[in-house]
Amino acid sequence: MNGAIALVGSGEFTSAMIDVDRGLLAATGKDMPRVAIVPAASWPDGEAVYDRWMAQGEEHFAALGAEPLPIRLRDLTTAHDAATLAGIDQADLVYFSGGKPGYLLSLLRDTEAGAALTRARSRGAVIAGCSAGAMILGSHQLAMGGLRPTHLSVSWQESLGFVPGIVIVPHYDAIPEALLMPLILAAPKGDLVVGIDENTALVGGSDAGGSGRDGEWQVQGRGRVTVWHGSRRKRYRAGAGPVTLHVIG
């Protein structure tokens, strides 16, 4: 059975996500889960930024009683490196932090690291992604340079599709919704747009059918999740019941 998935709007490795992350660790079913810390999306921002996210992730999950596994995925060479693959293969929870979604996708599509991630989920490992790390788990993501300040140019690229049929918009409450409407209305045909507020997670996807889409999803954290089907919108808060991630009507 596929493992659970957590889509996080922001706040990775901070106190805001402690309760969410405790739940993810519990979902592994292990007394001392091994957590792969993967800050690969931040590598384009420089080694110092990358190392800071790695250290923060290790410290955060060690404090929660887990065994952190630093995954030094940085480029296409390390995407085929034995140490990278071994770390992902050993992990009970794989956590991708934020940064550049297009860059992260390039390290996981058609690489050994991507194949290891697929194996991890198939054997029941929990997969979590925050911001850019969440965006790559949907069916499509905004292509680099897709939105420019001077004019609208929306283009999409296929993502990993671990949660099929959705486009994920993190930091949703940090952007005026009116500015997002052109993007929402231009979503790939058949895809829902899922906006996840900061310090908020959407957790689920461990359905026996393996689709990752129609299992029971729950909002966790301080904010809301907004689901758009075309121009129709529905909002969900923590404790308000399951989130529907399939098209009805």
pLDDT at 116: 98
Confidence of residue 218 (pLDDT cuts 50, 70, 90): very high
pLDDT at 153: 65
Q: Quote the CA–CA distance of 96 and 43 in Å, as a whole number.
A: 12
pLDDT at 27: 95
Share of the chain above pLDDT 90, in %: 84
- 186 secondary structure, DSSP code: T
**Cβ neighbours of residue 77 under 8 Å, at least 6 residues apart?**
none
- For 137-179, how does the pLDDT look when each residue is reduced to its tens digit (9 = 90+)? 999 998 855 444 444 567 899 999 999 999 999 999 999 999 9
Do 97 and 12 contact (CB within 8 A), yes or no? yes
Q: Which two tokens stand for residue 23?
A: 């739940």
Q: Quote the CA–CA distance of 61 and 142 in Å, as a whole number.
A: 30
Q: Which two tokens stand for residue 112?
A: 């050994």
| pLDDT of residue 78 exceeding 90 | yes
Rounded mean pLDDT, 31-36: 98
Share of the chain above pLDDT 70, in %: 91
Do 104 and 136 contact (CB within 8 A), yes or no? yes
Rounded mean pLDDT, 76-92: 97
The structural domains of the chain, ordered by start, are 5-237 (3.40.50.880)
Q: Which two tokens stand for residue 220?
A: 């966790």
pLDDT at 147: 45
The beta strands (E) that lie in 39-180 are given as 67-70, 93-96, 126-130, 140-142, 156-158, 166-169
| pLDDT of residue 60 exceeding 90 | yes
Confidence of residue 206 (pLDDT cuts 50, 70, 90): low
Q: What angle do CA 9, 10, 15 make, to 5 degrees?
A: 130
Rounded mean pLDDT, 178-200: 94
Cβ density class 174-202: b for 16+ within 10 Å, e for less: eeeeeebeebbebbbeebbbbbbbbbbbb
Mean pLDDT of the chain: 91
How many CB atoms are located within 10 Å of the residue 19 CB?
Answer: 12
